[in-house]
Amino acid sequence: MSTPDFNLLITLDVLLAEGSVARAAQRLRLSPSAMSRALARLRATTGDPLLVRAGRGLVPTPRALELRERVGQLVQDGEAVLRPAEKLNLKQLVRTFTLRTRDGFVENFGPDLIARVGEEAPGVRLRFVQKPNKDSTPLRDGTVDLETGVVGKTTLPEVRAQALFRDRYIGVVRTVHALSRGKITPARYAAGRHILLSWRGLDKGPIDEALNKFGLEREIVTIVGGFSTALALARTSDLIASVPERHTGNLRAGMHSFPLPVSTPEVTVSLLWHPRLDADPAHRWLRKCVRDTCAEQLTNSSTRGKAAEG
């Protein structure tokens, strides 16, 4: 079966509205002969004469009367589909967005992001889900709208990414810990009892590789899979947690943080999404909200840090 010419719907809509080949031709900027040919094609396609002679004019057949309202709606719907998206009205937007993030992102950036979204678009709800791995398939299948993380080899090639901030690992201990006072040297740091943070359950990491260059090895007491868990343990024991600085700002409140005495690579935390949502106005607005929230909070944290040093 051949595919019908959907352009004929526009022709039929105008013919039924005008009830005249001449007026329809004028409205569509066609010649009368071209419009007559189009009417002939419509008759052949529908198997109905549609418009028949009655005196000097044309009258619609019962089939034409049946089609008139449906055709008009189809043409309007088609025009709406092909028309550029209307300006986003945030106050009337009702939508739930799913964001997949690493442990610590919600605790650190979530309150400000939720407040901003609630103020600008009261009908929008954010659903945060944990990110147990780097598999970006949920972005492709549409179960996740946005994701934060470090772009890696397992990130799907079509996924869009925009940097949010760079982060570095720091040491964190409770305020009565011995490392909360005095200079932190590689030897002094390694001599402590440590919490290893590993998503994949590995027993070594970049910090251990950096210590090895000094001929040092730290004692790893426990291995955990999340920033919150590592900091909760360090807060109530003499264990040392080493976590990303900017990702855990709020989580470290009331604890002592210090730069690591060894050099470790910085990481870039990015915002990730699927290209099918690139042009979606609501999604673009949400991406801006996340970027602005991260930037503002990091700026405020830097300002507070400088004030404390002063």
Contacts of 171 (CB under 8 A, 6+ apart): 179, 184, 189, 240, 241, 242, 257, 258, 259, 260
Tell me yes or no: is domain 7-82 CATH 1.10.10.10: yes
Paired sense of beta strands 160-167 and 256-259, if any: unpaired
Which tokens sit at 23?
A: 């007026």
Contacts of 29 (CB under 8 A, 6+ apart): none
Name the pLDDT band for 304 (thresholds 50, 70, 90). low
Q: Residues 237-289: pLDDT tens digits?
A: 999 999 999 888 888 999 999 999 999 989 899 999 998 898 899 999 999 99
pLDDT band at residue 301, thresholds of 50, 70 and 90? low
CA distance 240 to 173: 5
Q: Is 31 exposed, middle or buried (0-12, 13-18, 19+ CB in 10 A)?
A: exposed
Residue type, 95: R
Asked if 173 contacts 164 with a C-beta cutoff of 8 angstroms, the reply is no
Domains 7-82 and 90-157+275-309 agree in fold: no
Count of other CB atoms within 10 angstroms of residue 253: 9
Mean pLDDT along residues 159-163: 91
Query: Which of the four CATH numbers 3.40.190.10, 1.50.10.20, 3.30.56.10, 3.40.640.10 does domain 169-265 have?
Result: 3.40.190.10
Coil/strand/helix, residue 282: helix
Fold of the CATH domain 90-157+275-309: D-Maltodextrin-Binding Protein; domain 2 (3.40.190)
Q: Is the pLDDT of residue 302 over 70?
A: no
Paired residues of 60 in beta bridges = 51
The burial of 149, by beta-carbon neighbours within 10 Å (0-12 exposed, 13-18 middle, 19 or more buried), is given as buried
Of 261 and 141, more confident = 261
- Which of 255, 258, 204, 209 shows the shortest CA–CA distance to 231? 255
Indicate the range of 37-46, 49-58, 112-121 predicted with least confidence.
49-58
| Mean pLDDT, rounded, for 179-208 | 90
Q: What local confidence, expressed as pLDDT, does residue 201 receive?
A: 66
At 209-225, the pLDDT tens digits run 999 999 999 999 999 98
Q: What pLDDT does residue 309 have? A: 42
- The larger pLDDT score, comparing residue 180 to residue 299, is at 180
Tell me which of 161-165, 169-173, 285-289, 305-309 is least confident. 305-309
Task: Say if strands 51-54 and 57-60 run parallel, antiparallel, or are unpaired.
Answer: antiparallel
Confidence check: pLDDT of 1 > 90: no
- Dist. CA 258–CA 178, nearest whole Å: 12
What is the β-pairing status of strands 219-224 and 193-197? parallel
Residue-range domain boundaries for the chain: 7-82, 90-157+275-309, 169-265
| Structure confidence by residue, pLDDT tens digits, 84-129 | 666 889 999 999 999 999 888 898 899 999 999 999 999 999 999 9
Backbone angles phi, psi at 242, to 5 degrees: -120, 115
Three-state DSSP at 32 gives: helix
Average model confidence (pLDDT) across the chain: 87
Task: Give 146's pLDDT tier (boundaries 50, 70, 90).
Answer: very high
Residues 191-207 have a mean pLDDT of: 86
